[in-house]
């Protein structure tokens, strides 16, 4: 049984968002933002639906969290995202001053770690939470896309 309010619990919420993206034909990345063990924002990729290259899951969640909190800074918040943030999202996370980022799967090609994109000095980052589930969903999506083309 999963202990409530641990990283796995919240990453499952992010995976639920990724599943929604998958069903919409979007790259299946999902995100939730948590403060005081409460999910205050959710997001999933909407780049195809909105015809907007910036409509990544993290960006959707950052905007929703800022609206919920009534301010642009996300101090005390944790982002759970199924895929390591890209450079653009890492930049937005930097400016939001989010306290912690927890991701599932690494993005060895476009992720912020290999591209050496810095997060805010007070932001901590941890990876590999439900990595296999997140990777599996992404692989299934791209296999499906290749088979349709």
103-145 residue pLDDT tens: 999 999 999 999 999 999 999 999 999 999 999 999 999 998 8
Domain annotation covers residue 147: no
Q: Is the pLDDT of residue 17 over 80?
A: yes
Give the number of other CB atoms < 10 A from CB of residue 71: 11
Domain annotation covers residue 86: yes
Domain annotation covers residue 53: yes
Domain annotation covers residue 59: yes
Mean pLDDT over residues 48-60, rounded? Answer: 98
Radius of gyration for the chain, computed over Cα atoms and rounded to the nearest angstrom:
14
Q: How many domains does the chain have?
A: 1
The residues annotated as belonging to the active site are: 58
The H or E element that residue 125 is part of is strand 124-126
Does 77 carry a binding-site annotation? no
> Can you give the CATH number for the domain in which 123 is found?
3.40.140.10
pLDDT at 4: 65
pLDDT at 146: 84
Is residue 39 within 8 Å of residue 13, measured between CB atoms?
Answer: yes
Q: Is the pLDDT of residue 41 over 90?
A: yes
Q: Is the pLDDT of residue 3 over 90?
A: no
Q: Indicate the average pLDDT of the chain.
A: 95
Question: Which domain, by its residues, includes 65?
Answer: 7-141
Q: Which contacts of 60-63 are long-range, i.e. CB under 8 A and separated by 24 or more positions?
A: 60/31, 61/31, 61/32, 61/33, 62/33, 62/92, 62/93, 62/96, 62/98
Note the pTM of the prediction, 2 decimals.
Answer: 0.94
Crossing angle for the helix pair 57-69 and 7-23, to the nearest 10 degrees: 120
Mean pLDDT over residues 88-116, rounded? Answer: 97
Mean pLDDT over residues 25-38, rounded? Answer: 97
pLDDT at 149: 63
Does 89 carry a binding-site annotation? yes
E-strand ranges in 16-105 read: 30-35, 38-44, 78-83, 100-105
Domain annotation covers residue 78: yes
Does 86 carry a binding-site annotation? yes
| Chain segment 70-79, per-residue pLDDT in tens | 999 999 999 9
């Amino acid at each position: 049984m999963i202990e409530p309010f641990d990283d796995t619990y919240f990453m499952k919420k992010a995976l639920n968002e990724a599943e929604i993206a998958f069903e919409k034909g979007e790259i299946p990345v999902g995100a939730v933002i948590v403060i005081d063990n409460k999910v205050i924002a959710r997001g999933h990729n909407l780049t195809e639906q909105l015809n907007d290259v910036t409509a990544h899951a993290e960006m959707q969640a950052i905007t929703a969290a800022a609206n919920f909190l009534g301010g642009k800074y996300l101090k005390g918040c944790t982002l759970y995202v199924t895929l390591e943030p890209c450079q653009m999202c890492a930049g937005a996370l930097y400016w939001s001053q989010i306290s912690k980022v927890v991701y599932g799967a690494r993005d060895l090609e476009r992720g912020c770690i290999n591209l050496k994109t810095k997060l805010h000095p007070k932001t901590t980052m941890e990876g590999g939470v439900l990595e296999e589930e997140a990777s599996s969903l992404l692989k299934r999506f791209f296999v499906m896309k290749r088979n349709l083309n």
